[in-house]
Amino acid sequence: MSILGQTPATEIEAPISTFEGAATRHAQSYWNESWERLRDNRIGVAAGALILVLAAIALAAPLFTLFLTHYEPYGIDLLGTFQAPGHPHLLGTDELGRDTLTRLIYGGRVTLGVAFLTVGIALTVGTTVGLVAGYYGRWLDDILMRIVDMVLSIPAIFLFILMSILFRPNPITLAMIIASVGWGGVARLVRGEVLSVKQRDFIMATRSIGARDVRLIVRHLLPNVLPVLIVAASLGVGQIILIEAALDFLGLGIQPPTASWGNMLTNSESYFFHSIWLVIFPGLTIFVTVLASNVFGNAVRDAFDPRLK
C-alpha cells in the first residue's frame, strides 16, 4: 500500500513511452482524470467558486462602489465617523467616516492581487531553480540547495520584517518580499520530483534520440512536475494571504490610506469600546477567504497529487 502510495501513478505507463508524443498523450488522460475528481468534490468546487466570486468582486470594485455602496474608498466624512452598520453604510464607517464595505472591496484588490502575484513569483523562481538543480545535479545542485537552506533557515517572519522595513513595500515589492522566502520550498519540491522523474526510461530515451537539455527540461520534466506545482500553488494562497495580512496589520505591508484587509485592523484595539464591526468584518473576510482557499487547495491536492492514491 505505502509503496504504491509513494509511486507516482505515471510511472506505470512511462517505460512504454519511448516516443515523444506518448508523454503528452498520457498527460492528457491524467489531466482529464484529475479534473473529474476535482469536479466531483462538491465542497471543493464551492470553495473554488467562492474564491472566483471574491476575485471578480475585487476586479470589478469600481462597479460595486458605483452601484452598490455609492462611496469612494478614500472618501472621508468627518461628520459621519464610527457609524454603525445599517443604512446608508451597510458595514458601518471607520474613524475617518470611510465606508467599511467599500474599503473591504478595494482592500480585496490589494490583498488578493498581492497573494496571486506572490504565488506567481514564487512558483516561477522556485520551479526554475528546482528544475536546474535537479536536472544538472552535482555542484550546481549543491550550491542552489544550500542557498535554499539559507533562505529557509532564517525565521521567515524575521526576514519579512527586515525587508519590509528596508524596502518600504508597495503591493508589487510586498509580493516580491513574501515570494523571496516562498520560492525556497517550491524549489525543494520540484527538485525532489525531478530527481525521481529523471531516473525513468523515457528521459534516457528522449536524450538518446538527441533532445537538448532545454527541450528535455521544458517538454518532459516540467509537465511531470506540474501536478506538484498545482497542488503547492493552491495550498499556498491561503498561507500567503495570512502572512500578508499579518504584515499589513503590523504596519509593515501595504501603507494607509490604501486599504488592505490586514491594515484595516491595524489600530482596531482602539475601537473595542464603541465600534466592534471595525474589528469583526476585515478579520472575518480574511478568515473566510483563507478558509475557502485552503478547502479548495485540499480538494486540488486530493484530485491532482499522483502520490495520494
Partner 1 sequence: MLAKYLVRRFFASVIVVLGVTLITLLLMDRTRGTYVPGIDLNPNLRPDDIERLRANLGLDRPFYVWYLTWLWNVLHGDFGRSMIDGSPVTSHILDRLPNTLELTGTAILLGVLISIPLGVIGALRRGSKTDHTLTVVSVAGFAVPQFWLGLLLILLFSVTLEQHGLPWLPSSGATSPLGGGDVLDRLEHLVMPATVLSFFYLSLWSRFTRSSMLEVLSQDYIRTARAKGMGERRVVYLHGLRNALIPLITLVGLELPGLVSGGLVVEVVFGWPGIGRLLFERALQYDYSTVMGVTFFATLLVVAGNLLADVLYAILDPRIRYA
Residues engaged in binding partner 1 (CB under 8 A) = 1-2, 146-147, 149-151, 153-155, 157-158, 161-163, 165-166, 238, 242, 245-246, 249-250, 262, 265, 268-269, 272-273, 276, 279, 282-283, 286-287, 290-291, 293-295
Nearer to partner 1, 151 or 233 (CB): 151
Shortest distance in whole angstroms from residue 213 CB to partner 1: 25
Nearer to partner 1, 57 or 250 (CB): 250
Helix (H) or strand (E) run with residue 269 in it = none
Shortest distance in whole angstroms from residue 148 CB to partner 1: 10
Q: Which residues pair with 93 in a beta bridge?
A: 99
Nearer to partner 1, 20 or 305 (CB): 305
CA distance 201 to 207: 10
Shortest distance in whole angstroms from residue 221 CB to partner 1: 22
Shortest distance in whole angstroms from residue 285 CB to partner 1: 10
Nearer to partner 1, 1 or 79 (CB): 1
Task: Output the DSSP codes for 204-230.
Answer: HHHHHTT--HHHIIIIIIHHHHHHHHH
Nearer to partner 1, 55 or 222 (CB): 55
Strand ranges (DSSP E) for the chain?
A: none
Tell me which residue of 36, 236, 229 sits closest to 131, measured CA to CA: 229
Give the rounded distance of the alpha carbon of 82 from its chain centre: 34
Name the grid cell of 200.
Answer: 525513468
